[in-house]
Amino acid sequence: MPTLLSAWFNSHQPNLHPPSFYSLSLFRSSHPPPSPNPTLAMALSRFASSSRSGSLLKPLSSAISLRRPISTDTTPITLETSVPFTAHQCEAPSRTVQTSANELLTFFRDMALMRRMEIAADSLYKAKLIRGFCHLYDGQEAVAVGMEAALTKKDCIITAYRDHCTFMARGGTLLEVFAELMGRQAGCSRGKGGSMHFYKKDSNFYGGHGIVGAQVPLGCGLAFAQKYSKDEAVTFALYGDGAANQGQLFEALNISALWDLPAILVCENNHYGMGTAEWRAAKSPAYYKRGDYSPGLKVDGMDVLAVKQACTFAKEHALKNGPIILEMDTYRYHGHSMSDPGSTYRTRDEITGVRQERDPIERIRKLILSHDLATEKELKDIEKEVRKEVDDAIAQAKENPVPESSELFTNVYAKGLGVESFGADRKEVRATLP
Amino acid sequence: MLAIARQRILGQSFQKIRPAVSVLRSYSSAAKQITVREALNSALDEEMSADPKVFLMGEEVGEYQGAYKITKGLLEKYGPERVLDTPITEAGFTGIGVGAAYYGLKPVVEFMTFNFSMQAIDHIINSAAKSNYMSAGQISVPIVFRGPNGAAAGVGAQHSQCYASWYASCPGLKVLSPYNSEDARGLLKAAIRDPDPVVFLENELLYGESFPVSDEVLDSSFCIPIGKAKIEREGKDVTITAFSKMVGYALKAAEILEKDGIYAEVINLRSIRPLDRSTINASVRKTNRLVTVEEGFPQHGVGAEICASVVEESFAYLDAPVERIAGADVPMPYAANLERMAVPQIEDIVRAARRACYRSVPLAAAA
């Protein structure tokens, strides 16, 4: 059995992992709860990956201390969620959750990565490297991370335009994100989609949707197809408090309830639909109750463990009983998009208040420290690593080329039938669609 | 309100007798006759049988046997998991259909008429048509949206619009419009097999009409290529383009014109998008004159696109300005005499062809 020292040595081989593939999936434990005995190989790879970026020059002693088996400890830890769940037409799950050091550290790292990524996107937008729309998710990371922990890749997720972190949670890479935002070839949609149109079909992530509310019927359609195909999997269709009043949502919910579709409608209630507070847009802002005949659960969306618990509960429910609504009480620090300062319709005190009291990353940091699962320094090191990963990915994305001109005409159809398409001046620019 | 209007449509759908049957039988020897309705039904049946991913969804498609009986017998044959009756919620069920197509199923979504597709048009355009492009090929959408399009008889303004030009302007969609039973079978089968979103525009008044079909057409593998127009009648003096019901009118107009020594070439477009520009232009280069015929509103219509295409590609070959016959530029009136004026008639096509051939002078000169 290799010693810790040889593991450290092994990790310093060059090119262990190509730097462009920093992704959350490397740090993903198995779903839902981590297996009690991860293989040694997985353990070693985690040692290797956690040491990849920063520790080459560290003295041996601190390198060994990084190798304390904290990140692989899957001994169950029992905790309580911040608040109990509030239920509508169903019995709420227990607020007692099982987790582990491994899981908590994974959550911390994943959320820190997302946070860093979104803040970096803010700078890139201000530097005019990102154009058009850019809707940032910082503050809401617990929803993406907690949900992913409760699901498998057989389950489908569809969301709206605030999709960068959901894409990452489904296994996307930082390079794919930044390259897409900057309209480059290495982007997840090869630069043709942009911020609102990230997809990852091989992880059953269906976007990335620009029309408010449309993703909910689409998500119910995914659930329909899963039931039709007898896949024993579910679809999570995410929408905001702004979309919660859309008629098509209720149309889709009606059909889903009639046909018993395994659809979970998740309202990410960040309390503002663009500039309109929920109490100005909804006669009843109790979104978890708006399903009427469909059960619902209100969840503290800033508590990643509560999110995971609720999603596990919802998945089980939907597979047996049809649609259920989850309302995630969450908050976005940024405005609606980069064009919105986010301070004309809410006070700065409110924003800083949430940051101080309810920040999802801080909550996990406190949990980790109070349970002595890692030191403050170790957590700071993780944040530094994550920052470097993001910076490296941005540097790589900046070097990446823009799409070839011929890409203007690709993917119009799956089967183009040799048909002609035209540029702005059709006597100058024509193409045959493959 | 919608229910009453739909009842009115239903009342008329069975009143279409088939005077053409006995006439046609004397022409066709061993060829079988089937109605457009039977053609569509058999196409759906065969495609559902061949591919378990194909399923039907729409209002009254199941237990009611179809508002126009197009889906008759299919619920009984394939069961309620594959033939789904929906509530009257187009936005919701169309979105669900598109989502199912994202996952890889092959939905055939019926709109009771395409007027109601406007309630779901965001899903047709933004969720279906554009997804393959926005996702750089990751998410293809193998869905068919079908149903009656255009004017029926006496159903008024909200139930009579033709949507061909609206949908055909959108890249990412394919738009088909059959005329006869052969078209109906071949194009619907092609549409269901196609991996892209297809808008399939039928015509309520054609459902009950019979047409001869060969054995090849009746074979379960029969398919018509998408994007290819058909020359229904060859001619040398003027090209007449049409689709759906207007093909029948154009053919009758051609018979009348023949008596005057004008031999019209009638093109059945079959495919509005992709538009078969090469067949149209080749024909115009032969005849040097063009009349476009459509039922829909004239402004920004199918005929406008055909005219532009011919002017761009074959200007030197035109011996006369392109003539355009379309529905009147007004919402569809109810009174029978006004309705008659609002939809192209055979004499309109004949007159336009004569103008194109310099055989008459227009009554109303442009101001």
HSE-CB of B125 using CA atoms within 13 angstroms: 13
What is the distance in angstroms between the Cα of B344 and the nearest Cα belonging to chain A? Answer: 30
Residues from chain B that touch A247, judged by Cβ atoms under 8 A, are: 91
DSSP state of A236: E
Closest CB to B195 among A216, A223, A415? A415
pLDDT at position A31, please? Answer: 42
pLDDT at B268 over 70: yes
pLDDT at position B285, please? Answer: 98
pLDDT at position A52, please? Answer: 43
| Range in A253-267, A373-387, B28-42, B137-151 with the lowest mean pLDDT | B28-42
To test the contact with chain A by mutation, choose from B86, B98, B102 the residue with the greatest count of A C-beta atoms within 10 A, namely: B102
Share of chain A above pLDDT 90, in %: 82
SS3 of residue A122 by DSSP: helix
pLDDT at B42 over 50: yes
Cα–Cα distance measured from residue B218 to residue B185, given in angstroms and rounded to the nearest whole number: 8
Nearest CA in chain A to B82: A228
Residue type, A412: V
Closest CB to B105 among A199, A228, A412? A228
Summarize pLDDT for B194-233 with one digit per residue, the tens.
999 999 999 999 999 999 999 999 999 999 999 999 999 9
What is the distance in angstroms between the Cα of B96 and the nearest Cα belonging to chain A? Answer: 4
pLDDT at B32 over 70: yes
The encoded tokens of residue B11 equal: 């009342």
Partner-chain contact A199 B105, CB within 8 Å: no
Closest CB to B99 among A222, A410, A412? A222
Place of tokens 């457009």: B36
Partner-chain contact B92 A415, CB within 8 Å: no
Residue type, B173: L
What is the distance in angstroms between the Cα of B85 and the nearest Cα belonging to chain A? Answer: 10
Cα–Cα distance measured from residue A111 to residue A328, given in angstroms and rounded to the nearest whole number: 16
Q: Which pLDDT band, with edges at 50, 70 and 90, does B255 fall under?
A: very high
Q: Write the DSSP assignment of B88-123 as a string of letters.
A: S-HHHHHHHHHHHHHHT-EEEEEPSSGGGGGGGHHI
Q: Write the DSSP assignment of B121-175 as a string of letters.
A: HHIIIIIIITHHHHTTTS-----EEEEE-S--SS--GGG----HHHHHTSTT-EE
Partner-chain contact B126 A224, CB within 8 Å: no
pLDDT at position B359, please? Answer: 73
Residues 6+ apart with CB under 8 A from B1: none
Residues 6+ apart with CB under 8 A from A108: A361, A364, A365, A368, A379, A382
Summarize pLDDT for A208-260 with one digit per residue, the tens.
999 999 999 999 999 999 999 999 999 999 999 999 999 999 999 999 999 99
Residues from chain A that touch B87, judged by Cβ atoms under 8 A, are: 251, 254-255, 258
pLDDT at A57 over 50: no
User: What is the overall mean pLDDT for chain A?
Assistant: 88
User: Per-residue pLDDT averaged across A145-173, rounded?
Assistant: 98
To test the contact with chain B by mutation, choose from A204, A254, A417, A420 the residue with the greatest count of B C-beta atoms within 10 A, namely: A417
Cα–Cα distance measured from residue A46 to residue B240, given in angstroms and rounded to the nearest whole number: 71
User: What is the overall mean pLDDT for chain B?
Assistant: 93
Q: What burial letters (b/e) apply to A92-121, b meaning 16+ CB within 10 Å? A: bbebebebbbbbbbbbbbbbbbbbbbbbbb
Closest CB to B91 among A200, A247, A258? A247
Residues from chain A that touch B139, judged by Cβ atoms under 8 A, are: 199, 201, 206-207
Partner-chain contact A415 B194, CB within 8 Å: yes
Considering only CA atoms, give the Rg of chain B: 20
Are β-strands A296-300 and A86-88 bridged in parallel, bridged antiparallel, or unpaired? antiparallel
* Stronger pLDDT, A9 or A189, i.e. the higher one: A189
From residue A30, how far is each of A69, A71, B75 by CA, in Å? 17, 14, 43
- Residue A127 backbone phi and psi in degrees, to 5: -85, 5
User: Per-residue pLDDT averaged across A91-115, rounded?
Assistant: 97
Q: Write the DSSP assignment of B2-71 as a string of letters.
A: HHHHHHHHHHHHT----HHHHHHHHH-SS-EEEEHHHHHHHHHHHHHHH-TTEEEEETTSSTT--TTSTT
What is the distance in angstroms between the Cα of B93 and the nearest Cα belonging to chain A? Answer: 7
A128's enclosing H/E stretch is none
**A198 near A208, Cβ under 8 Å?**
yes
* Stronger pLDDT, A302 or B28, i.e. the higher one: A302
**Active-site residue numbers of B?**
90, 159
pLDDT at position B12, please? Answer: 47
Task: Report helix, strand and coil shares of chain B as percent, to nearest 5.
Answer: 45, 15, 40
Residues from chain B that touch A259, judged by Cβ atoms under 8 A, are: 84
**B192 near B54, Cβ under 8 Å?**
yes
Place of tokens 């039973």: B181
**B182 near B37, Cβ under 8 Å?**
no
Are β-strands B174-176 and B198-202 bridged in parallel, bridged antiparallel, or unpaired? parallel
**A267 near A325, Cβ under 8 Å?**
yes
What is the distance in angstroms between the Cα of A203 and the nearest Cα belonging to chain B? Answer: 11
Residues from chain A that touch B225, judged by Cβ atoms under 8 A, are: 417
Task: Report helix, strand and coil shares of chain A as percent, to nearest 5.
Answer: 45, 10, 45
Residues from chain B that touch A208, judged by Cβ atoms under 8 A, are: 134-135
Residues from chain A that touch B309, judged by Cβ atoms under 8 A, are: none
Helices (H) and strands (E) in chain B, counts: 15, 14
User: Per-residue pLDDT averaged across A380-390, rounded?
Assistant: 97
pLDDT at position A70, please? Answer: 53
| A to B CB pairs, distance under 8 Å | 159
**B290 near B322, Cβ under 8 Å?**
yes
Nearest to B227 by CA among A422, A425, A423, A415: A415
pLDDT at A65 over 60: no
Burial class of residue A348, CB neighbours in 10 A (0-12, 13-18, 19+): exposed
Partner-chain contact A410 B136, CB within 8 Å: yes
ipTM for the predicted complex = 0.90
Cα–Cα distance measured from residue A81 to residue A298, given in angstroms and rounded to the nearest whole number: 13
